[in-house]
Amino acid sequence: MNIATRLFNSSLGMKYLMSITGFGLAGFVIAHLIGNLQIFLGKDVINRYGHFLQSNLELIWPARIALLAMVILHIWAAIRLSALNRAARPVSYKKWSPTAASYASRTMLMSGLIVFFFIIYHLLHFTVQVEAINLTGQNFVTFSEPLPDGSTRHDVFRMMVAGFSNPIVSIFYIIAMALLALHLSHGLQAMFFSLGWKKRSYAGLLDGAAKAVAIFIFIGYVSIPIAILFFKYGKEALN
């Protein structure tokens, strides 16, 4: 058996695959957050950013393909890992009782699934802009901003303000972000463990760093629906 086949048939190999893809996805989550936080710099800044992404197809398509590949590999490794672990479990199912580790992995599966469904909803909401699921009765595709040179660009600012003015949508996003943060916090800690770093003296520091990253991501993302829904940020865009 060559090294690649051995890795694909071992739980360690699957853990590495989950760690690498999870790390890449976490990188996207941080980059996307930084992009989105530009909403607080005003309509012009966020609309320019949205327009830049949409008009650079040679940037956006490779990124989309890489993201999709990472999501598929991450889920595939999770399924394969749980199958390998089940096959290797020494006690029979009758005697099996949940441990702290299995509790963490079950919450990972649940939070991962919910985050996955959130991403599907989110893509339909803001990327494909399906009117029926935004619960505002408005068509985001028609939101465009005229520019001084006579051209137009998509009004991402108005889309976000209109989108998060709906309490059901905003609360759904906030819950999904909490689960994403939980998933990331456990996932990063598991990644440090798989890499063998947790044996070292700085294990506690690494766990703290994983939690800090998750809290930063949670606060950063929820600040947007909270500012719009509760503090009426950007409400002038709806007039």
Tell me the C-alpha distance between 219 and 232, whole Å: 18
Q: How far is the CB of 102 from ligand HEM (least distance, A)?
A: 25
Tell me the C-alpha distance between 196 and 8, whole Å: 19
121 to 180, contacts with ligand HEM by CB under 6 A? 122-123, 126-127, 156, 160, 173, 180
- DSSP letter, residue 232: -
CA torsion 216-222-226-228 (nearest 10°) is 110
Applying CB under 6 A, which of residues 11, 36, 107, 136 lies at the interface with ligand HEM? 36
178 to 217, contacts with ligand HEM by CB under 6 A? 180
Coil, helix or strand at residue 134: coil
Q: Is residue 78 close enough to count as binding ligand HEM by CB under 6 A?
A: no
Closest to ligand HEM by CB, 62 vs 103, is 62
Q: How far is the CB of 166 from ligand HEM (least distance, A)?
A: 13
Q: Is residue 112 close enough to count as binding ligand HEM by CB under 6 A?
A: no
What residues make contact with ligand HEM under the rule CB under 6 A? 29, 32, 36, 50, 54, 60, 64, 67, 119, 122-123, 126-127, 156, 160, 173, 180, 221, 224-225
